[in-house]
């Protein structure tokens, strides 16, 4: 079984929390499924859940090279030099990243408002980009955009391998056949 969930902002990628924060249990009623990969509490978008350990491994193990694609809002107007640096790979404190597919994007018309909203500053513009990568280090996209001088304000995973968000609203899920 494979379930696609549009994980809302502020939700933990686990089913229980001793501190009473929102978890996957608030959205997924199916028993005995587990997240295939993770999204930070402050990230949104596609999260795949399965009851099949082998499938979870295929989806998450970097050796299987499943691309993960993110829509990223950054602080500042992204420039060609930063995009090229992201494409080549950047040096992080835990070593260099693999090359990525990175390109400027526009805010999509299907995008839902975030609750709470992203901070707004009149004097500092924001821009959007699309990043696809084949590794999955802790907070990697955020660290990469910061390393090239453009801190991430909003991060939405839109695709994992062949599985895409495809119109799921925040908190909605669907079973994938």
Please determine, for residue 116, whether its predicted confidence score (pLDDT) is greater than 90.
no
Query: Which residues of the chain form beta strands (DSSP E)?
Result: 2-7, 34-35, 44-50, 68-75, 91-92, 95-96, 101-105, 126-133, 152-160, 163-164, 173-176
Note whether 139 and 79 are same-domain residues: yes
- In terms of Cα–Cα distance, which of 77, 62, 127, 131 is closest to 99? 131
Assess whether 58 and 74 both reside in one domain. Answer: no
Note the pLDDT of residue 123.
79
pLDDT value at residue 62: 72
Q: Is 142 helix (H, G, I), strand (E, B) or coil?
A: helix
- Residue 175: pLDDT band with limits 50, 70, 90: very high
Do 51 and 99 lie in one domain? The reply is: no
Residue 18 shares a structural domain with residue 36: yes
Do 50 and 108 belong together in one domain?
no
Containing domain of residue 177, as a range? 1-64+161-177
Asked about 40 being catalytic, the answer comes back as yes
Give Cα separations from 95 to 4, 52, 105 (angstroms).
Answer: 31, 32, 27
- Which tens digits make up the pLDDT trace of 89-105? 999 999 999 999 999 99
Residue 41 and residue 18 share a domain = yes
Domain total in the chain: 2
Q: How confident is the model at residue 60, as a pLDDT?
A: 80
Whole-angstrom distance between the N-terminal and C-terminal Cα of the chain?
Answer: 8
- Give me the percent of the chain exceeding a pLDDT of 70: 100
Beta carbons of 2 and 49 less than 8 angstroms apart: yes
Same structural domain, 35 and 11: yes
Q: Name the pLDDT band for 118 (thresholds 50, 70, 90).
A: confident
Do residue 94 and residue 149 come from a single domain? yes
Cβ–Cβ under 8 Å, residues 52 and 40: no
Neighbours of 30 (CB within 10 A): 11
Q: Is the pLDDT of residue 65 over 90?
A: no
In this structure, what CATH number is given to the domain that contains residue 87? 3.30.70.1560
Our CA angle for 98, 49, 11, nearest 5°, is: 85
Question: Which one from 17, 19, 32, 40 is the annotated catalytic residue?
Answer: 40
**Is 113 in the same domain as 80?**
yes
- Convert the pLDDT of each residue in 148-163 to its tens digit: 999 999 999 999 999 9
CATH number reported for the structural domain that contains residue 23 in this entry: 3.30.70.580
User: Residue 66: its pLDDT value, please?
Assistant: 85
Residues 170 and 155 in one domain: no
Give 53's pLDDT tier (boundaries 50, 70, 90). Answer: confident
Q: Domain check: are 2 and 18 in the same one?
A: yes
């Amino acid at each position: 079984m494979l379930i696609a969930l549009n994980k809302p902002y502020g939700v933990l990628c686990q089913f229980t929390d001793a501190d009473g924060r929102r978890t996957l249990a608030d959205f997924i009623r199916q028993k005995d499924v587990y997240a295939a990969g993770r999204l930070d509490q402050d990230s949104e978008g596609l999260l795949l859940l399965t009851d099949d350990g082998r499938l979870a491994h295929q989806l998450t193990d970097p050796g299987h090279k499943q691309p993960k694609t993110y829509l990223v809002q950054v602080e500042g107007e992204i420039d060609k030099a930063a995009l090229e640096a992201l494409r080549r790979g950047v040096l992080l404190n835990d070593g260099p990243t693999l090359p990525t597919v990175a390109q400027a994007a526009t805010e999509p018309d299907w995008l839902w408002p975030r609750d709470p909203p992203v901070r707004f500053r009149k004097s500092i513009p924001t821009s959007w980009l699309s990043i696809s990568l084949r590794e999955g280090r802790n907070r990697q996209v955020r660290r990469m955009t910061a390393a090239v001088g453009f801190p991430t304000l909003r991060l939405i995973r839109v695709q994992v391998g062949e599985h895409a968000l495809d119109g799921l609203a925040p908190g909605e899920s669907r079973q994938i056949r």
